[in-house]
Amino acid sequence: MMRLKIQLPLLFVCLFLSAGVFAQDKKVALVSFYSDKKIGGTGLGTATEALIDDPNFNLKPILNKSYEKFIKDFAKDFPFKLIDQSEISGNEEYKKYESKFMADTTKKVNKVLNNQYNVIDGMVFAYPCTPCIVSEENRDECNLGKIFNSSDGVLFVSLDYEFEPRMGGLAAGITAYVTLTLYDKKCDKVFRVREFGKSGKKVPAVAGIPVMKAEKIFPLCEDATEVLFEELEGKLGKIVKKSAKNL
């Protein structure tokens, strides 16, 4: 009996360590990390589109800072390991890849899209189709999954923003969103996680329409993004672990 009491704890320890090793064996390719310059909001119509073509409204510094924090502070808590980014960016087939959602840049809508998104240097813009009725050959997650077929999945991360009316429409704040979408080897969605944070700062608004000046809106986006990632400290890893059980 004494031997059994000693062996059982050892058995549980071995099982626990084996499960941990198995989780670390899972490898995922982070194939796109981008931000959207078009700020959403109810009832704004085309008002926010003026910021898309404004060279002074540059969200790239926020994107770069977010990427660094994501890799250094959050990814270490995921139940899978991200493939080294140099391996992703150095892949010749990946470097030549063009999203099926932006293939024809001669069309007006895609010219707008080319200005609309900031992408981390060395990465391509790719858009996860969720929900999707597009055939697999035209889906970025399927095509990129084939390029990185030695991985267990492909991950897309994006930042986007939305105006939030305040003070009865006399002011507006910004809500920042981060979206993580993971697909497995079969091109099936494993999870889609979307979290948000609200800026403490605000700008004046007239009839619910915020002041559309780059120097006024950028600090709100920056503030909302900082709030978002502060709120995700110690939380995002747990959300991803729970959501990635079927990987």
Asked if residues 115 and 142 have their Cβ atoms less than 8 Å apart, the reply is no
In this prediction, residue 3 has a pLDDT band, given cuts at 50, 70 and 90, of: very low
Q: pTM for the whole thing? A: 0.85
Query: For residue range 203-222, what is the model confidence (pLDDT) as tens digits?
Result: 998 877 888 899 999 999 99
Half-sphere exposure of 120 (CA within 13 A, CB side): 23
pLDDT tens per residue, range 222-238: 999 999 999 999 999 99
Burial, 10: exposed, middle or buried (Cβ in 10 Å; 0-12, 13-18, 19+)? exposed
Residue 12's pLDDT band (cuts 50, 70, 90): very low
pLDDT of 111 reads: 57
What's the pLDDT at 123? 96
Chain segment 70-125, per-residue pLDDT in tens: 999 999 999 999 999 999 999 999 999 988 766 554 456 555 566 789 999 999 99
Phi, psi (degrees; rounded to nearest 5) at 171 = -150, 170
**pLDDT for the residue numbered 231:** 97
**120-139: pLDDT as tens digits:** 999 999 989 877 777 888 89
Predicted local distance difference test score (pLDDT) of residue 11: 44
Q: Domain limits of the chain?
A: 33-243
Is the pLDDT at 38 greater than 80? The verdict is yes
Token pair recorded at residue 4? 């059994």
Instruction: Tell me the one-letter amino acid at 115.
Output: N
Euclidean distance between CA atoms 239 and 178, whole angstroms = 13
Q: Which of 89, 85, 91, 90 is nearest to 68 (CA)?
A: 85
Distance between CA atoms of 96 and 74, rounded to whole angstroms? 29
